[in-house]
Amino acid sequence: MPTTHLQSAIRRPACGPGDIVTMPRALRRVVAIRRLLTGRAGAGTALLLGLTLSGCSATADAPSTPVTTPPVITAAPAARIVPINSSWTFSVAATGASLRYQWRRNGQPIAGATTAQYTVRPTAMTDGGPLDVVVSNAAGAVTTPAVELRVVTENGPWRTGLRIATSTSPTAFSGFASWVPQAGVASLAALPGGRVIGVFQWFPFDDLASFDRVAVVFSSDSGRTWSAPRRIVVQGFPDTLQRPFDPTITVTADGRLRLYYTSSRSDGGRISGVNGFYSAISTDGVTYTFEPGARFVATRSTVDCAAIHWNNQWHLVSPIGAPDEGGYHAISTDGLTFSRLPDISTRGTPFNVLGNLAIVNGAMRFYGSSPQGIWYADYAASGSWNAPTLLNGVMGGDPAVVEAAPGRWLMVVTQ
């Protein structure tokens, strides 16, 4: 009798007595083929089906384990500032099975943003906004708290940083090293016991509350090591002024710290007046108390004053405008009410009255910036400023200089 042979090999995991075995898909297909061949081969055809079962399949048709636990967020995204044409990757971490992700901006799903990471590269200021991510599975969903993606312009003061150098001479600095990244407009002051305080405008991308705010650092070893930056707090600061910027730190006769800074009238967030200089007082250098009123306001907006207490008087200097317009110079007996002196003349020179005051060998000296490098000029006993002198090979902006310890000078510049 003609015989048709059909053989299929199906693996079989070991089964114990009493096990219930589900017929694998492969076996069901073989049975169907047998029926088909039996019907087509005719009555005189025998079908020999050889099956090699080598185990109970645990994967082919076994029902999947149901997901009963919803996701749990273990690390949520953090707010970030991102300049135009720069990239940043937000990420989320969660526990749970079969997780799905959907990032959202302003509560709306972002097309293609369906993994645990989401990379942004803004091309316009309008690309910012609140971001969150929905993490889900069959058991539920959880949404992270919204965090801010703040977009800033491509070019800004956050592209520069502060660099520091030491010297045994106040007129020869070299070997500048990074001091504070993404910061500018520094000021230094020496405190008793080899301590030094530094303040500056800070632009950290990972700390939105501190971005474009005044921050402070301290050294307890004459500027060899420094604390991490901290944003200052000005208690009693009026809502009618915009936030402090371009700081200058000074030491009063009784050892307190007075911070001078630029500000202007603000009408509901809109600047409504010319920039002037204000102050706040502190005992620890971190928390300050606003001192009412303006210290000095000219008829034109100005920024970045320098101030110091010298020879029982307070001196304040600031640029008038363009470099060759010179600078303002004002004095005060209490550091609060200033009277204008003759302006500092830089007519016909590239020297900008943008920098800081320092006491050098008992005299008051101003360190300024220019396209040709850092310059300085001493205030003569006659009440006038000497001619500027360039510091050869020292480039940068807003120089700050202090004698941190006898014969140990520090200079910080914006580069």
Please provide residue 246's backbone torsions phi and psi, each rounded to the nearest 5 degrees: 55, 70
pLDDT of the residue at 188: 98
Confidence of residue 16 (pLDDT cuts 50, 70, 90): very low
State the Cα–Cα distance between residues 215 and 379, nearest whole angstrom: 30
Q: Which residue has the higher pLDDT, 83 or 265?
A: 83
Q: What is the DSSP string of 189-230?
A: EEEGGGEEEEEEEE--TT-TTTTTEEEEEEESSTTSS-PPPE
Give the span between the Cα atoms of 158 and 404, in whole angstroms: 27
Q: Which residue has the higher pLDDT, 104 or 38?
A: 104
Lowest mean pLDDT among 106-110, 151-155, 324-328: 324-328
| Structure confidence by residue, pLDDT tens digits, 109-121 | 999 999 999 999 9
pLDDT above 70 for 337:
yes
pLDDT-derived band at 393 (thresholds 50, 70, 90) equals confident
Does residue 80 have a pLDDT over 90?
yes
Q: What is the pLDDT of residues 61-77, one digit of tens each?
A: 456 789 999 999 999 99
Rounded Cα gap, residues 83 and 205, in angstroms: 9
Sequence-ordered list of residues with C-beta below 8 angstroms from that of 352, at least 6 positions apart, any chain: 319, 323, 346, 368, 369, 370
The domain covering 72-152 belongs, at the CATH homologous superfamily level, to Immunoglobulins (2.60.40.10)
The model's pTM is 0.82
C-alpha closest to that of 398 among 345, 365, 356, 336: 356
The share of the chain scoring above pLDDT 70, in percent, equals: 83
- The CATH code of the domain at 157-414 is 2.120.10.10
Domain range summary for the chain, segments of one domain joined by +: 3-53, 72-152, 157-414
- pLDDT tens sequence across 135-175: 999 999 999 999 999 999 999 999 999 999 999 999 999 99
For residue 160, what are the CA distances in angstroms to 97, 180, 227, 301, 383?
A: 45, 10, 20, 24, 36
pLDDT exceeds 50 at position 251: yes
Residues 281, 306 contacting (CB under 8 angstroms): no
Question: Per DSSP, what are the bridge partners of residue 46?
Answer: 3
Contacts of 321 (CB under 8 A, 6+ apart): 300, 302
Amino acid residing at 318? S
